[in-house]
Structure 1
Amino acid sequence: MHSVLRVQTAASPHDLDDAQRELRDPLCIPDDRAAVMLRGAPWRRVVVLGDSIAEGLGDRVPGYRDRSWAERLVAALESAVGPIASLNLGRRGRRAGEILAYQVPPAVAFAPDLVVVTAGANDILQRSFSLSAVTDEIDRILDRVTSGGALAVTFGLFDLSKVADVPDHVGTRLGRRIAEVNGATQRLAARYDAVHVDFERHPALDRSLFSSDLIHPNRRGHAYIASDVMRALSQRAAQRR
């Protein structure tokens, strides 16, 4: 089953009550500013594919709206340019090869003009991790989803080694793998003229940005992800005008 993103473009009174910290957070882009930043953006068909980050998992945080980064992004685009057709194919636990096999075909069939790809995080956690294999799979994902002219957006993963409760040697290995996958993804993004948004050394990176599992960003983290993606897309849209 695939899910269409359901977004609430107009904030409810309950939403506003819950968003007081978010409204004062300098790293968050308010809705009205986001609409101005993305005004004139060319994208109308948005696909999100990947793992649990794409799916939108994350604990609620007092003062921040209970919305995933993808919901926020689509809502901002709708406020800026009108109706958006959107599809979220993200599923927790998916590795890059599974994203390629099971999510790319329906993504391409949707005929998107904007595709956000989050891949590699679950591969990093495997004993059988192979940087060359993951790089090849992400390469093939980007090749397929951009073949029809869509703009791709890729993510540089948060450095979980800075927050994880693991022995030093495990943290060192984790940090090295994250840096390797992020570097490979950034190079591939350049090859496909994609927008790469790097979260590896995010200025707010600490435990307060994550859910209780210290793996998934919480709703504050999702607000930051959305804001950074919107900034990057605003810059790309300005270049296309």
Structure 2
Amino acid sequence: MEQPTFTETTDPFCLDQADAAALLTEAPWGRYAVIGDSLSAGTGDCSPGYRDQGWSDRVAGVLRSVRPDLDYLNLSEIGATTAQTLENQAARVVEFSPDLLHVPCGANDIVRRQPDFGEIARTLRRMYTLAKGTGALPTTFTLGKAYVVPVFPDWPERIATVNAIVRGLASEYDAIVVGRALSSSCCRSRQRARPECADHRSMARPGMNRAQPWRRPDMSSHGSSGRIVPSHRASMIS
């Protein structure tokens, strides 16, 4: 069955700029920072009918529409592990002193022959400690089924394990989790491990829609694992 063709203005799962801004009208953040890997950077393939712009830049654009004085810093590096994020990006983000800080979720930490999940958990904890030490509200993703590395037959178990680590730390550090970034229903890139521009639209709205610290979201359906915002094809901004 042929898939319908959408654009930024016709995609039913997308927010227009005015609706996105309305969600953040009372947003208290004036210093927004992003650290991590290509997922944090908003790297992806172009989609016909959609702006070539990653989720993090889109969120910054909406924040700036309601906070014109917003300072925005994205230090993300393609391929960075959590350890490399701490080594190469930590000092600058601490100096920046953000009040809203997006951190990576270990996507590149599990791309190795035998990942050491104990070490991954310890390194992620160091990152969360750093994030909270800045005074910022931390946000992060969990990974979905469309993030696939076929060479590893235990890949689904790796995803589940690192997601569990992230959820546990998010709960402990009171971070916002946008659930299942690169979910199979969201990611349409031919490479499947890299989202398209249309998918970046789908990754930004959840963080705006319910991750409002002055209006704590209903967690009745999400247990105790942080402020989790589901992202299985939720809308983004145009």
Given the two structures, how large is their TM-score scaled by the length of structure 1? 0.81
- 2:56 aligns to what? 70
The 3-state SS of whatever aligns with 1:119 is coil
- Structure 1 residues 201 and 230: CA distance shift in structure 2, 3 A: same
Residues 1:183 and 2:164 are matched in the alignment: yes
Uncovered stretches (5+) of structure 1, i.e. residues with no partner: 1-19
Which amino acid counterpart does residue 231 of structure 1 have in structure 2? N
Aligned pair count reads: 213
Which amino acid counterpart does residue 75 of structure 2 have in structure 1? L
- 2:84 aligns to what? 98
- 1:236 aligns to what? 213
- 1:166 aligns to what? 150
After the TM superposition, which parts of structure 1 deviate over 6 Å for at least 4 consecutive aligned residues?
none
- Structure 1 residues 149 and 165: CA distance shift in structure 2, 3 A: closer
CA–CA separation in structure 2 for the residues paired with 1:133 and 1:159: 23
The 3-state SS of whatever aligns with 2:163 is helix
CA–CA separation in structure 2 for the residues paired with 1:92 and 1:201: 16
RMSD: 2.2
The 3-state SS of whatever aligns with 2:177 is strand
- In percent, how many aligned pairs have the same letter? 33
- 2:204 aligns to what? 226
CA–CA separation in structure 2 for the residues paired with 1:155 and 1:165: 18
Q: Which structure features the higher share of helix residues?
A: 1
CA–CA separation in structure 2 for the residues paired with 1:125 and 1:165: 8
CA–CA separation in structure 2 for the residues paired with 1:77 and 1:181: 30
Is contact 1:47–1:115 with CA below 8 Å preserved after alignment? yes
- 2:234 aligns to what? none
CA–CA separation in structure 2 for the residues paired with 1:231 and 1:47: 19
The 3-state SS of whatever aligns with 2:14 is coil
Deviations 1:91-146 (A, max 9, x none): 01111111111111211110000000123111111113111111111111111121
Uncovered stretches (5+) of structure 2, i.e. residues with no partner: 1-5, 218-238
